[in-house]
Amino acid sequence: MLTSWRSRVYAGAGLVFGLLSFWWLFSEPVVPVDLAVIDRGEIEVTVSEEGVAQVREVYVVSAPVSGLVQRSPLEVGDAVSAGQSTVATIMPSAPDFLDERAQRAAVARVGAAEAGLQLAVAGVERAEAELEFARSDLARAESLVERRTVSERSRDEAALRVKTAIAALHTAEADVKVRRQELDTARAELIQPGTAADAEREACCVSVPSPIDGRVLAIQVESAQVVAAGTPLLEIGNPGDLEIVVDLLSTDAVRIETGDLAYIDRWGGAEQLTARVSRIDPAGFEEVSALGIEEQRVTVRLDLDGSPERFARLGHDFRVFARIVEWRRDDAMRVPISALFRHGDDWAVFVAADGAAERRLIAIGQRNDDHAELIEGLAEGDRVVLHPSDRIEDGTPVEQRSVEGASE
């Protein structure tokens, strides 16, 4: 039938074309995937936690005496200098209120004092009368002595009586003064707070000076009010002297040590700040996490690196996000986390080699959110499949998904 060579060639070509078509139609479809190259680079494993920037030394100024604190002359943020700036003025306490009984007793005491004064005044009058009589008696005695009708002694006795009367008058007069003072005292007890003329006492106020050069961080007592001695009035600190305070989980805190590098992000500024761990508290405390779990936390303090101008806008108790580097290697072999999956107990990746996915078991060391440190199983330059789908198995043909213009 297919006698001529031409027919045979055509038939053969057709057959080959048909077979090729079938081979193509039934060949396993190539799965487009995202690939990443295994490279050497830096891996940093960090302990991340939210923290606050705090002024290292905060001075709390408290009231030295009880009394009425006048309205604060300062606003938060005002600069103060040591010994120069008055940060508070306190007017010592006004009298207490009299209750009903005390008031009546005081009124009665005033009455008694008034009566006592009258008594004393009467005593003066009596003393004066007695002095007058003694004087006239002395004059009479002196004239009688000249006429020698009475003895010298009588005259001396009269003179003595005058002197005695004078002394009695002085006593009585002094008694009046005492009684008058007593009346004043009794009246003073009746004074109610606010009724007295405050103006009289302005001179008596206590001024509190600033202990350091710095800025007002907080004012606890802003409005004029009566405070007891020792009440905190305001906080003063030097905002240029900041540190970062982070409460870490105790299990994380043991992995870091003083001097470790930390990155300070999300503090609002565009620039990433760096800091060093300066102190890890030796004692922890319990706190309930946002997930609602009770955990032990440890306060860790960090010193910011660089000149204070870099973080001049950062203030006291401002929120920051600290990432403390617990492990770091500059030339680690890196495998992307999104390429990893479990094969049995081992970690595995799909390597794209010769257009097909090949499963390789690998060993990894440290890892962070993006990369894991490759210990063994891959070579530099190997290309691994990211986010391998369930369509990919060992030997599945794969190709790089075309992602021109992609932002990743």
Of 10-18, 88-96, 176-184, 186-194: span binding another protein (CB under 8 A): 10-18
Of 20-28, 118-126, 136-144, 198-206: span binding another protein (CB under 8 A): 20-28
Q: Which is nearer to another protein, 221 or 384 (CB)?
A: 384
- Site for another protein contains 223 (CB under 8 A): no
Strand order of the β-sheet with 79-80 is: 58-62, 232-237, 214-219, 79-80
Residue 258: CA count within 13 A, CB half-sphere = 8
- Site for another protein contains 355 (CB under 8 A): no
Q: Which is nearer to another protein, 32 or 193 (CB)?
A: 32
The three-class DSSP label of residue 81 is coil
Q: Which is nearer to another protein, 236 or 253 (CB)?
A: 253
- Site for another protein contains 391 (CB under 8 A): yes
CA distance 337 to 33: 16
b/e code 296-307 from CB counts within 10 Å (16+ = b)? ebbbbbbbbeee
Answer whether 92's CB lies under 8 Å from 69's CB.
no
- Site for another protein contains 235 (CB under 8 A): no
Judged by CB under 8 A, the residue of 60, 94, 212, 341 near another protein is 341
Judged by CB under 8 A, the residue of 146, 331, 369, 381 near another protein is 369
Judged by CB under 8 A, the residue of 194, 259, 292, 355 near another protein is 292
Judged by CB under 8 A, the residue of 307, 345, 355, 381 near another protein is 345
Q: Which residues pair with 358 in a beta bridge?
A: 351
* H/E stretch holding 360: strand 356-367
* H/E stretch holding 244: strand 242-249
- Site for another protein contains 13 (CB under 8 A): no
Judged by CB under 8 A, the residue of 84, 223, 342, 355 near another protein is 342
Considering the complex, what minimum distance in angstroms separates the CB of residue 373 from another protein?
14
Burial class (CB in 10 A: 0-12, 13-18, 19+), 282: exposed
Judged by CB under 8 A, the residue of 178, 337, 365, 397 near another protein is 337
- Site for another protein contains 27 (CB under 8 A): yes
* H/E stretch holding 357: strand 356-367
- Site for another protein contains 387 (CB under 8 A): yes
Beta-carbon contacts of 33 under 8 Å, excluding residues fewer than 6 positions away, are 352, 357, 385, 386, 388, 389, 392, 398, 399, 400, 401
| Residues in binding contact with another protein, number by CB under 8 A | 47
Residue with tokens 């929120």: 319
- Site for another protein contains 50 (CB under 8 A): yes
CA distance 127 to 9: 166
User: Which ranges constitute the DSSP H helices of 147-205?
Assistant: 152-188
Q: Which is nearer to another protein, 50 or 198 (CB)?
A: 50
- Site for another protein contains 403 (CB under 8 A): yes
Considering the complex, what minimum distance in angstroms separates the CB of residue 243 from another protein?
20
Among candidates 218, 208, 210, which has minimal Cα distance to 67? Answer: 208
- Site for another protein contains 6 (CB under 8 A): yes
- Site for another protein contains 407 (CB under 8 A): yes
**What residues line the site for another protein (CB under 8 A)?**
1-7, 10, 14, 18, 21-22, 24-27, 29, 48-50, 249, 252, 289-293, 321, 337-338, 340-342, 345, 367, 369, 387-391, 403-408
